[in-house]
Homo-oligomer: A and B are copies of this chain.
Amino acid sequence: MSDTPFTFSIPNPGFIPSRVDNHITRRLSALRGQFLDQDAYARLLDREDTLLYAVNEIKRPAAAGELLMGVSIVHPGKVGKEFFMTKGHFHTVLDTAEVYYCLRGEGFMVMETPEGHPAVERLSPGRVLYVPPRWAHRSVCTSRQEDLVTFFTYPGNAGHDYGTIEQQGFCKLVLDTEKGIAIVDNPRWRK
């Protein structure tokens, strides 16, 4: 890891950064128990362990004054009525924020505090989202054709707590209904 300034490009289309230190892919099997319609999940997984999203990270030291960066690409698709989404997480150091800049696609960031206060914000190209300290966050791709692509940055010491969300889910879901895209309460959510 370099202690001197550096640049990298995020070429459009493709959005794979010209510098990648860590390439992460998450398939359907990595989100077991997260989607509402468990029968649809089992059927889909039986057919193929579909790629839901990829993250290309640029690494820096895990220090408070450093900033980690990366590009997240969530693919279009659904499990039952529920759109493809990321695992979602709190930061281990809860009092750390995150900034998202949307480069392509359409979707939502689903968020909540440890106390269970929800927030859902729309993402579209040219929009910036501020996730304040303490808010868990998951991105959801709602386009039928296009990836949801975001550039993100957050403090180097933040860390990831995936376990809390794996256990309790998010209190809001984003579904494709007959009346269009709907944000609904998660009936399986438990505090």
Q: Which residues of A contact B (CB under 8 A)?
A: 2-12, 17, 58, 60, 63-67, 69, 93, 95-99, 101, 109, 111, 117, 119, 121-123, 126-133, 135, 151, 153-156, 158
Measured between beta carbons, the chain B residues less than 8 angstroms from A130 are 5-7, 58, 60, 67, 69
Cβ contacts A to B, 19 pairs, < 8 Å:
A5-B111, A5-B131, A6-B130, A7-B123, A7-B127, A7-B128, A8-B127, A12-B126, A58-B130, A63-B133, A64-B64, A65-B133, A65-B155, A66-B132, A67-B99, A67-B155, A69-B130, A99-B153, A101-B101
Determine whether the beta carbon of B5 is less than 8 Å from that of A67: no
Among A12, A63, A67, A158, chain B packs the most CB atoms within 10 A around the CB of A67
Task: Give the number of times this chain occurs in the complex, counting copies.
Answer: 2
User: Known: A60-B97, A97-B60, A98-B67. Contact between A10 and B126, CB under 8 A?
Assistant: yes
* Alpha-carbon distance between A104 and B151 when the two chains are bound, in angstroms: 17
User: Known: A130-B58, A153-B153. Contact between A95 and B7, CB under 8 A?
Assistant: no
Closest Cβ of chain B to A29, distance in Å, is 29
* Alpha-carbon distance between A60 and B97 when the two chains are bound, in angstroms: 10
